[in-house]
Copies of this chain bind each other. A is one copy, B any other.
């Protein structure tokens, strides 16, 4: 069990059945490798080490697995946004700490993040709506903190929605290009991006 595997298993920690946890991890690995549409039930069972029938005991369909992965990924990021951006500190520190954690999350969970970002079109309408609501909350938390920084005079940028889009986009795209064992560590990307974002926001002294 490698480090990567352990980290992703945290996202499924509240699922009581060990078999269900193995299936969801197997599905996440398969979707990340082949894409949702090209993944078969057989791929998921091979990757989880369980029989194809075992999948249907715990999940009604491949789409339900995609939804569980996507929802849990977004909820984990929302937790992080609520904890950091919703805290009492000054807005520049909250934004910096959020960008560090958000970037680091997308590097550490790059497989889950790719599934959660690029397969949204494969979700049912009801499920897409649930995920859309989570995305909206994350975005609103970021926008509010940036706006508070502008009001406090520590940030200086007129187009707050525009810069918020760029800040979140920069973090999300890490999931596309990040390779474990490459030039960057998750910690290194987090530090780099927190400096670059403070600069984008017109924060003095970075």
Chain A residues in contact with chain B, CB under 8 A?
A: 34-38, 117-118, 159, 161-163, 165-166, 169-170, 172-174, 176-177, 183-184, 192-193, 196, 199-200, 202
Contact = CB atoms under 8 A, between A and B. Distances in A.
Contacts of A166: 170, 192-193, 196
Contacts of A35: 35-38
A119 to B, nearest CB: 8
For chain A, what secondary structure do more than half of its interface residues adopt (helix, strand, loop), or is it mixed? Answer: helix
Sort A-B residue pairs by CB-CB distance and give the 10 closest, nearest first. Answer: A37-B38, A173-B173, A169-B173, A196-B200, A162-B192, A199-B200, A199-B199, A37-B37, A35-B37, A166-B196
Given A35-B35, A169-B170, A183 B202 contact: no
